[in-house]
Amino acid sequence: MRVPVQAWGRGWSDHPYDRARTWRLTSRGIPSGRDVPGTDALAIMRNSIATLNIHGDQDGFTMRTFEAAGVSAVQLVDRVDVEEYYVPGEEVLVFEGHDELVALARDVMARPSSYAALREQGRRRTLAEHTLRHRAEALEHLWGSE
């Protein structure tokens, strides 16, 4: 089973303007779209079979980690340490390497209804613990403790 992929944003877009502003001469070779407004990006994640969240060697997690779970996406994350925020296998899916990523994506494609609970549990955890209000309260607590 082939895993269809589509990406959005200037770093992926093959539009001539986006390639010029990212200094990219060649196509990445996958279907892509231009930048989309935030609400559209959230809808894309929610409505997709799965959302891929790659961090590479970056420190910490991007907002995408929390946005994807918050909109009930099936999130495929490349970092085991996401367990600090979510329960792997119950709220997000973690992969280590290409083969595991493809296997997870194929399983989600073959059995999308099997991931309804994961979608809901990720959303619930996000709303209960990982909103911007939670982050602001944590910062306020740190500043107030001096």
Domain containing residue 98: CATH number: 3.40.50.2000
84 token code pair: 């600090």
Distance CA 112, CA 56 (A): 27
In a domain, 133, yes or no: yes
Residue 23 counted as domain residue: no
**What percent helix, strand, coil does the chain show, rounded to 5?**
50, 10, 40
How many domains, the chain?
1
Check residue 145 and give its pLDDT: 60
At residue 146, the pLDDT reads 55
Position 89 in a domain: yes
Pair of tokens at residue 144? 């107030």
pTM for the predicted model, two decimal places: 0.88
Q: Which residues span the domain enclosing 55?
A: 36-144
Determine, yes or no, domain membership for 138.
yes
pLDDT digits (tens, 9 = 90+) for 43-84: 999 999 999 999 877 888 888 999 999 999 999 999 999 999
Q: Is residue 13 in a domain? A: no
